[in-house]
Structures are given as structure tokens and as C-alpha cells.
Chain A
Amino acid sequence: MERIIENRLQLKKRVLVVDDEFINRRLLEKIISEKYEVLQASDGAEALEIIKENRNTLSLILLDLLMPKLNGYELMEILKEDETMNRIPIIVLTSEKEAEVETLNMGAADFIQKPYDVPEVILARINRIIRLYDSINILNATQTDQLTGLFNKDYFIEYVGVIDKYYPERAMDAVAVNISRFHILNEMNGRAFGNEVLKALSDAIRNCVSERQGIACRNSADRFYLYITHVDDAEALRHSLAAGISSLVKDADSRINIGIYPNAQTNPDAPKRFDCALLACNSLRSDYKSFVAFYDAEMYKKETFAERLVSDFDEAIREKQFIIHYQPKFDVTGDTPYLASAEALVRWKHPELGMISLGLFIPFFEENGLIQRLDRYVWQEVSNQIACWKKKYGFSVPVSVNVSRVDIMNPGLVKEIEGIVEEAGITPNDLYLEITESAYAEDSDRVVEAAGKLRSLGYKIEMDDFGTGYSSLNTLAVLPIDVLKLDIDFIKHLHTSPKSLRLIELVVDIARFLGASVVVEGVENSEQYNTLKNTGVNIIQGYYFSVPVDSEGFADFILERIAYDNRQKA
């Protein structure tokens, strides 16, 4: 670094000489001015002004102790308390032995004795201290998070290793801390306010780790990691952290979540300890009553299960372990319901774990992005199956496939779907594309753009899980959709709550207004069927008609539909 500054930039580093005796200042200037730019101050007060003005460029302060106005000791105290100035090293100029010890204890980097030693020695000491502090300052800048001053994660993990090395017997907890709904705080009050909250929490964390002989880092955004001696009272720890932000955030106590991996030192994988603590912390996300969670055997089991699924994914795709089932959807607008389309549902026929339903693996794949590959696999399999039915029976019904949020973000989405459809030899009319309402709500511009493009090519777009994603009515009007698919929850209370029924009628009205049809899924019995039919719903899907069936089983439904069509013609 020093070489870069001197050789490439041709800059001299700046040194301030503070001494009330002009002769002493000039002597030092003579000794060091060839290598350094020298600033001078004749007392502490003048020095303080110069330091304030040059705080970012001063490389060293050479400081006499006995001076008028503000003496060297007083100036050192002031500088020590100021974070923007305490990075500048100080070499004390003194003839007093006691002062050497005292000032070193106060934070002086070194001392130069009066009368001055030979110039080479003085210069060497100055060079050494400047080099040393340059390195320390660079290290500090890279090892700490700028906003909070806490370690960044990489250095934190290094220091965890150091604690392990020196205190292998000490029971330590890995703790993950986060502020729930922090993004809302940020959005409502601005980023500057959010930063203030993070700084206040960091101060509380600093106090906590210093009391509990530990260290802490800011992992990302509002996530922090602590490595501290074993905590007996986790609630007390949580309260002390919440107290740190209580002057800024009204409901502070219900905003701090902590996940604890107790006795984490027993796990030799240091980063993993904090993954576990974070996992515990994240388990509190949807729980508005609990604020502390411990990483335990159940979590471990769930996590290892997830890891197993992820690691077996490639093989599963290769060996076609993902089996597509088809749930028939019936048009109920006429007197006789008839097969209108189907929904493709994927299950995993795992060679060792048996049949795994989609609810168990989809959330993990959504988290790590594998869902994109699974979706692609499903699109291909379904397209090929439709082509197969068409070839065999000269007819098929459209099949709905899922388009995940992450697919929408893929700029090549339209091209990929087109490629698959073309390769299978089917047409866009044969595929319905299901996009969840929450995806619309999260990034509506992107979804509108992608869905609009696909729709213009002839694909039907279905909004899945309608009623869970909080679409606003006015955005609904501009969304390119052909089908509103009602969330299964609407049906659950159909006969216990008159409001549920009225709500479905309203949705049917909205759909009509938008020119879309309404699909209700999860219909299980004739009572539900009859009620829904009377509301004007177009399509019904559910156990009332059929459970999801494999491709062979679904062929029977196609044959029935062909027979129905023939009857209609006759």
C-alpha cells in the first residue's frame, strides 16, 4: 500500500508535528521532510483544529506533552474518543520515562525521546509506525461492517476459530438475531432510519458480547450472528437486545427474533453452527407469538431431509423419478359436467424414501432455485404426454403447468417454453400456465410483461391461489389473465360461513368483468359442487370428480370426453 501511494501516486504522507518549541518542530521537520509532508502546530488546541481538517489524510501525529492551552495528554483523550480521528497513530515526544509508560497505556503507538536520537532511528520509528497503522486500518476497514462496526462474516468465522483454539472447553452458543419485518420499517421510515435501528441494535449486541465473552458480526441486512458463552436465559438476552432499539421502534420487544444453537463448539464446522442458529431463527418467521427458537433434533431431521432431497435431485431428474399426475378439471356450466382440462401435479417416487408429495420438496426447491429445473422437467414431460395422447386418440385437453416466481425472472422464459412446445409438436393452446397470485403481487411489472408476451403467443394464463396474494383490485384489471383459480381455503368454510359463498359470487363477478373464467379447486362432495355450480363458477377440480391420476388413468378421462363429444354431435 505504502509503495502504491509513494511510487504510483507520487504523494507524500502527511505528518503533524505538535510542539510548543519552534526549534523542536523544525528539527523534526528537517529529519522527516524528505519523505513526509510536515504540518506543524504549536499547542494542543491548534493541533486539534488541524487534525479535524486533515483527519482523512494524516498518517501520524508527533506529539509533545507539555504545551500551553491544550496539553498532549488532553489532546490524546479527545482523539481517543473520536472514531474518525482515533485511527491516526500518535508518537509521543518526551524526555520523561514515566510519561512513556503512561502515554503508551493511553494508546500512543510509540515514543521518541528528547533529546532526539540519531535521525535514522527517528525516521525508522516513524516509518514503522505508519506502515503498521496503515495495515491495521486496512484490516479494520475490511474486517468490519462499515455501518455497524461489527465484524463482517468472514473475519467473524476466523475469530470463532481462534476462540475454539484457545478455549476449547468453554461452552459456547451460536446465536442468530434478526429484526422481524425490518423491510417494512425501512420502507415506512426510510433507509436512514433503518440504518439508525441497525446501529442501535449493533450497540446492544456489542454490550451483550462483551458481557458474555464473545464476538459478533453483521451477516447481512438485519441479520446478526453472535458467538457467546452459553446462555441460560435466552429471553433475558433477547430483552436486552430489544431494549437497544426501544427508543426508536415502538414494538421493539416483539421484533427481535433469536435462534440459538446451544453448545455449538461441539460442531467442528464453524460456519455450519451459524447456519443452524439461522435456521432456528428463520423458523420464527411465521410465528408471531414466539421470539426465541433453539436448533434441535427435529430441526436437524428436517434439515437433513431437505439436504437429502437436494443432493438426490440430479439423479431424480436423470432417472425420471418425478412422476406427473393429472387431476381432471370439469366444465360445469352445462347440465352435464365434462372434462375440460387437467392440472399437472408432480410427485417424487424416491427409490429409498418412497413417494414424496410435492408439499415436502417444493418449498426447499423454491429456496435454492432447483424449482426452475423441476418446472422445466414438468413442462417437457407434460408436453410430450399431450403429444402422445394426441397421437394415440387424435385428441387431448389442455394441461396446466406451474410457472414459478423464479421462472418469471428468467429473461429467456418465453423462448424456453416455445422451444419445449415446438419440440414436442404441440401448440400453445395445449398448455395452461399457472402463475401464483403472490408472484403477481411481488413483481407485477415483470409478471405482466412475461404473461402478456406468452398470452400473445396463444398460451392461456391462470392466476393460481387467487385470494392469497393480496392483489389490489385496480391492478387486477390490467393483469393479462384468462383464468382465476380460487384458493382451496375459499372452499373450506363454504357451508359454515355465508360470507364465503358471497365472496365466491363476487369473484365470479370480477372474473366475468375481466373476461376470465373461474376455477375452484379442492371440491370434495356433492354439496360443495351444487353450491358452487349455482354461483356461476366455470370449472371445478377436486376429489368430487377425481383424485390426481397417472397418465394411463387420465387416458380414460380423455376417452370419456371423446365419447361425450360424440354424443353431443349425435
Chain B
Amino acid sequence: MITVKRLKELGCDTDKGLERCLGDADFYLEFIPDALKKERYEKLEALINSKNLDAAFEAAHGLKGILSNLALDPLLEPVVKLTELLRSRTDTDYSELLKEMWERYNLLAAEM
């Protein structure tokens, strides 16, 4: 079971995240598994790979929203970069960014 302390050690701004949850650690931690559901990231990757950039932007944007609210900063960084590129529907090679996203994701997911 992941803890606030462990998330902080992994670089998450848990003070901010907890603040949004009125300091309620249980409430905060309840959302982490949901935010780290693998399907969310797989869906984003699939949409990018299929060049469905509109849908990919919406998926990235949604992820960015929850990751930023929960202050899961390590994973938020690549997702923000992806969102910004997708906002302008940039047709580029996303593999490096996706790789970075998965690395950060795996780091956090390993704690679950």
C-alpha cells in the first residue's frame, strides 16, 4: 500500500495534494490507484500511435488535470509535455516522451 511519505520520496508534492484534500491523507491516497490505472496511459499511447491527435489531446489533457490536482509531479511532467504538443496537434515522434511517461509511471505503479 502506497503512503504519503513514499510518494513524497518519489518526488510528488504531497503537501499541495493533501492541501486540496483538506489534509485528509486517506482521502488523498484513495485516488492514487485510480489516477494510476494503466488503461488511462495505454489509451493515450494507442491514440497517439493511431494518429488520432484530437482524442489523444483530450486524453492527455484529462490526465494532466488529475495528476496536477493530486500533485503526482514526476508523472505530470511528461504528460504536460505531451499535452502541449498535442494541443497544437503536432505530428511528431512521441516515442521518447511516451517512454519517459512509462518509466515515471512504472516507478509509481511499482509502489501500489
Contact = CB atoms under 8 A, between A and B. Distances in A.
Interface stretch (A26-34, A102-110, A503-511, A516-524): A26-34
Contacts of B11: none
Interface stretch (A16-24, A133-141, A483-491): A16-24
B62 to A, nearest CB: 6
Q: Which 8 pairs between the two chains have the least Cβ-Cβ distance?
A: A115-B68, A23-B66, A115-B69, A23-B31, A21-B66, A116-B20, A114-B65, A66-B61
Contacts of A116: 20, 69
Contact of B69 (A20, A27, A68, A118): A27
B69 A23 contact: yes
Interface of A: 19-24, 26-27, 30-31, 64, 66, 68, 95, 114-116, 118-119
Contacts of A22: 34
A115 to B, nearest CB: 4
A36 B58 CA distance: 30
A64 to B, nearest CB: 8
Contact of B65 (A21, A30, A31, A119): A21
A24 B65 contact: yes
Contacts of A30: 21-22, 24, 27
Interface string B34-66: 110000000000000000000000100110111
A119 B22 contact: yes
Contact of A27 (B20, B58, B61): B20
Contacts of A21: 62, 65-66
A68 B58 CA distance: 9
B19 to A, nearest CB: 6
Contacts of B35: 23
A294 to B, nearest CB: 63
A66 B24 contact: no
A116 B58 CA distance: 19
Contacts of A27: 20-21, 31, 69
Given A23-B69, A24-B69, A31 B62 contact: no
A248 to B, nearest CB: 48
Contacts of B104: none
Contacts of B66: 21, 23-24
Given A66-B62, A95-B64, A114-B65, A26 B31 contact: yes
Nearest to A93: B65
A310 to B, nearest CB: 70
Nearest to A64: B65
A211 B61 CA distance: 44
28 contacts: A21-B62, A21-B65, A21-B66, A22-B34, A23-B34, A23-B35, A23-B70, A26-B31, A27-B20, A27-B21, A27-B31, A30-B27, A31-B22, A66-B62, A95-B64, A95-B65, A95-B68, A114-B65, A114-B68, A115-B16, A115-B20, A115-B65, A115-B69, A116-B20, A118-B19, A119-B19, A119-B20, A119-B22
Of A20, A21, A115, most buried by chain B (CB within 10 Å of CB) is A115
Nearest to B61: A66
Given A21-B66, A66-B62, 9 more contacts: A24-B69, A27-B20, A30-B24, A31-B20, A95-B64, A114-B69, A115-B65, A116-B20, A118-B19
